[in-house]
Amino acid sequence: MRWAVLSLVVVAGASLAQPPSGPPPSLHVVRQTDAGKGRVILTNSVTVIETRVITEKVVVNGVVMDVTKTIGVPVLKQFDTVHDIAAGRVITPDGKQLLLDEASKKLTAGTVVAVSGNFDAPSAAYLRTLNPQTLVIIPAPPKVAPPMQEKP
C-alpha cells in the first residue's frame, strides 16, 4: 500500500513539470567591466577538436613500419565577448530585473554569469537550476547593418 501512494505522488509531481522552452543559458566568466559605458567583457571556454597528424611504429608480418594517422584531439579554447548591458537586461534567477548601476556593482571580475541564448529571458526551468546570486545577462539583439548599395 505504501508503494502505491509513493508512486502516485511521484507520477503526479512529474506531470506538473513543464519542459523548458528555448535554448539554455550558457555560463561565462566576467573578465572586465566598464561601468561608465555599460559594457562587460565575458570569457567563455569551449572544447574544440583539433586534427593532428602523428606517426606510429607498427609491426606488420614481423616488419616494423611507420604509419601516419590523423587523430582528433580535444583542446580547450577561450574567447572573449563584449556585451552592452546598457542596451540589454540583467536579471536574477527569480526574474527580477536589475538597474544598470546595481548590475555593474555585482558584475566583478571572476564572477560566473549565465547568458541567454536567444535575446530573451531563459525558461523558468533553466532559471530554477541557478544559484540565487547568479546574474543572467540578456543581451540586446545585434544591430543589422543596412544592405550595401552597389555603385553604378
Q: Is residue 64 part of a domain?
A: no
- Tens-binned pLDDT, residue by residue, of the chain (152 aa): 445 444 444 444 444 567 888 999 999 999 999 878 889 999 999 999 999 999 999 998 999 999 999 999 999 999 999 999 999 999 999 999 999 989 989 999 999 999 999 999 999 999 999 999 999 999 998 777 777 777 66
pLDDT, residue 17, reads 63
> Phi/psi of residue 52, each to 5°?
-135, 145
Count of domains in the chain? 1
Q: Can you tell me the distance from the alpha carbon of 66 to that of 51, in angstroms, rounded to the nearest whole number?
A: 19
pTM (two decimals):
0.71
CA 96 – CA 134 distance, rounded (Å) = 12
Residue 55 lies in a domain: no
CA 70 to the chain's CA centroid: 30
What is the rounded distance in angstroms from the CA atom of residue 111 to the CA atom of residue 104? 12
The size of the chain, in residues, is 152
> Would you state the pLDDT for residue 144?
75
How high is the pLDDT of residue 96? Answer: 95
Q: State the residue range of the domain holding 123.
A: 21-45+78-138
**Region at 38 (left for phi over 0; alpha for psi -120 to 50; beta for the rest):** left
The pLDDT score that the predictor gives to residue 53 is: 95
Which residues are CB-contacts of 56 (< 8 A; sequence separation ≥ 6)? 66, 67, 69
Residue 3 lies in a domain: no
- What pLDDT is recorded for position 16? 56
